[in-house]
Amino acid sequence: MANFDISRKLFKKASSVIPGGVNSPVRAFRAVGGNPIFIERAKGSKIYDADGNAYIDYVLSWGPMILGHSHPVVVKALKKAVERGTSYGAPTALEIELAELVIGLYPSMDKVRMVNSGTEATMSAIRVARGYTGRDKIIKFEGCYHGHADGLLVKAGSGATTFGVPDSPGVPKSYAQNTITLPFNNIEALKKTIEKEGKSIACVIIEPVVGNIGCVLPRPGFLETLRKLTKKAGIVLIFDEVMTGFRVSFGGAQAYYGIRPDMTCLGKVIGGGLPVGAYGGKKEIMAMVSPEGPVYQAGTLSGNPLAMTAGIATIRELSKRGIYKNLDAKSVLLEKGLADAAKRAGVSTRFYRAGSMFCTYFTDTEVYDYPTAKTSDTKKFSRFFSEMLLRGVNLAPSQFEAGFMSLAHSDRDIEKTVKAAYEALKKI
Ligand code: KE4
């Protein structure tokens, strides 16, 4: 039986000096109960906690560790880079290298600005879209999470097209009123809102595949219609690909679905596990960004040489032949195995996948938006999560998060995961 004594002690200590004992809320296991495991090290597909328990890891730092943990190429590059200093606060050739790699993969971007997180990327992209259009309102979709900038912690107001209300204390009502929240995959609501409000809307920001309510796919025609309507109304279409970037495909969801947004936000994989976010888009829009243009945005550690090094090494590894075929094959193997385990265990689940991000819902309803994602039995999910943890498999500690595959996951890891899932499903 696994022992969690040291993690328990560490959590108690952490809780006396860090709010909730964690530096990001979802890590506290509040959605699944129990104490979080404190991780000591990670290698390949495995993470190891402070009590020495080993886990096959499908959280992968919420997406970034697509090569697997401590990939030798990334580690070697970082060891060399750190000898040259950790931060200069001045431009480096490394930033050009990563920018050129990204623009080569995301041709909808003529220019890109590096920042330090997905939150900074989306917050800045929205400011630039407002500066470019001279308009104030934005549209987001229910269930999509774009980081914790004030104007994005907003939920739908009473009527679908009325303005938002704060989704967190501390967000001024005036900020929320500029944010309209619409149901994902609902073309009618989109059409009506743009007809009514189009002239005052600066941008629409969307997760093209919604990874923050699990894994919810766009219905055929939804993204295409969104692209058409925003173009016609002069609204900037921002694809938040912080999670889907390099995940749904090497060129993200925009390459996979063949949609050309006006701006794109990236994060997670782009930093290879170090803090990097990025936003970019058409040159006429990015010309607004200081110091080229009047829209201000800045950052002490933006383009940090270590972070650039990890991002470059990761993307260069990903660009090798057959990598995405291999990643997809592993993801399909897991998908088939989990679906079969649920069938054999007689448990109703729905599994959705986009490239190497996925989610199992405990429902027999089709999941295509936030309300249908919420039909999942979260108590059942929590029991499943705990049973899997006890069997050495680390899943995201919330039903409403995506899971991720890495190139380091072996067929043996996946077989073990499927076996654990069958036993766990039988038990819950
Ligand atoms: P960060 O500020 O956490 O780097 O990125 C914010 C963000 C923006 N856009 C999308 C689509 C995202 O998924 C995220 C952050 N994702 C969460 C996981 N659902 C990060 C995990 C956490 O909050 O600890």
Cβ of 2 closer than 6 Å to ligand 1, yes or no, is: no
Question: Which residue, among 54, 17, 18, 60, has the nearest Cα to 37 in the 3D structure?
Answer: 54
Among 114, 119, 216, say which to mutate for ligand 1: greatest number of ligand atoms within 8 Å of CB. 119
Cβ of 242 closer than 6 Å to ligand 1, yes or no, is: yes
Cβ of 241 closer than 6 Å to ligand 1, yes or no, is: no
Question: Which residue, among 360, 127, 103, has the nearest Cα to 238 in the 3D structure?
Answer: 127
Q: What are the domain boundaries of the chain?
A: 5-70+321-427, 72-318
Q: Phi then psi for 289, rounded to 5 degrees?
A: -80, 130
The CA distances from residue 298 to 238, 290, 301, in Å, are 20, 8, 9
Q: Which of helix, strand or coil describes residue 65?
A: coil
Cβ of 240 closer than 6 Å to ligand 1, yes or no, is: yes
Q: Given the structure tokens 């990563």, which residue do they identify?
A: 98
Q: Which runs of consecutive H residues, i.e. helices, occur in 290-352?
A: 305-318, 323-345
Set 58, 145, 257, 352: catalytic member: 145
Q: Given the structure tokens 């989704």, which residue do they identify?
A: 167
* The overall pTM is greater than 0.95: yes
Cβ of 64 closer than 6 Å to ligand 1, yes or no, is: no
| pLDDT value of position 163 | 67
| pLDDT value of position 160 | 47
At the topology level of CATH, where does 5-70+321-427 sit? Aspartate Aminotransferase, domain 1 (3.90.1150)
| pLDDT value of position 26 | 95
The CA distances from residue 259 to 186, 215, 256, 264, in Å, are 18, 19, 8, 11
228-233: Cβ within 8 A, 24+ apart: 229/190, 229/191, 229/194, 230/194, 230/204, 230/262, 233/194, 233/198, 233/199, 233/201
Tell me how far the alpha carbon of residue 307 lies from the centroid of ligand 1, in angstroms.
17
Indicate the residue type of 246: F
Tell me how far the alpha carbon of residue 174 lies from the centroid of ligand 1, in angstroms.
24
Ranges under pLDDT 70 in the chain: 1, 156-163
Task: Identify the DSSP state of 259.
Answer: -
Cβ of 24 closer than 6 Å to ligand 1, yes or no, is: yes
Both tokens of 197, joined, read: 């409000």
Set 49, 132, 137, 240: catalytic member: 240
* Nearest ligand 1 atom to alpha carbon 277: 4
Pick the CATH number of 72-318 from 3.40.640.10, 3.30.830.10, 3.40.50.2020, 1.10.10.60: 3.40.640.10
Closest residue CA from atom 5 of ligand 1? 118
Cβ count within 10 A of residue 11: 22
Q: Spell out the residues 6+ positions from residue 188 whose beta carbon is closer than 8 angstroms to its own.
A: none
Reply yes or no on whether 48 is catalytic: no
Closest residue CA from atom 18 of ligand 1? 62
Which secondary structure element, helix H or strand E, spans residue 237, and what is its range? strand 236-240
Cβ of 22 closer than 6 Å to ligand 1, yes or no, is: no
User: Are the C-beta atoms of residues 239 and 265 closer than 8 Å to each other?
Assistant: yes
Closest residue CA from atom 24 of ligand 1? 24
Q: Spell out the residues 6+ positions from residue 223 whose beta carbon is closer than 8 angstroms to its own.
A: 206, 208, 257, 259
Both tokens of 108, joined, read: 């909808």
Give the whole-angstrom CA distance, residue 136 versus residue 65: 36
Tell me how far the alpha carbon of residue 211 lies from the centroid of ligand 1, in angstroms.
9
Both tokens of 221, joined, read: 């025609």
Closest residue CA from atom 15 of ligand 1? 147
Cβ of 124 closer than 6 Å to ligand 1, yes or no, is: no
Q: Given the structure tokens 């108690």, which residue do they identify?
A: 12
Strand-strand pairing, 46-49 and 39-43:
antiparallel
Tell me how far the alpha carbon of residue 119 lies from the centroid of ligand 1, in angstroms.
7
Cβ of 207 closer than 6 Å to ligand 1, yes or no, is: yes
Cβ of 118 closer than 6 Å to ligand 1, yes or no, is: yes
Strand-strand pairing, 236-240 and 201-206:
parallel
Closest residue CA from atom 19 of ligand 1? 212
Reply yes or no on whether 145 is catalytic: yes
* Nearest ligand 1 atom to alpha carbon 120: 2
Tell me how far the alpha carbon of residue 147 lies from the centroid of ligand 1, in angstroms.
5
Give the whole-angstrom CA distance, residue 272 versus residue 256: 21
User: Are the C-beta atoms of residues 408 and 45 closer than 8 Å to each other?
Assistant: yes
* Nearest ligand 1 atom to alpha carbon 212: 19
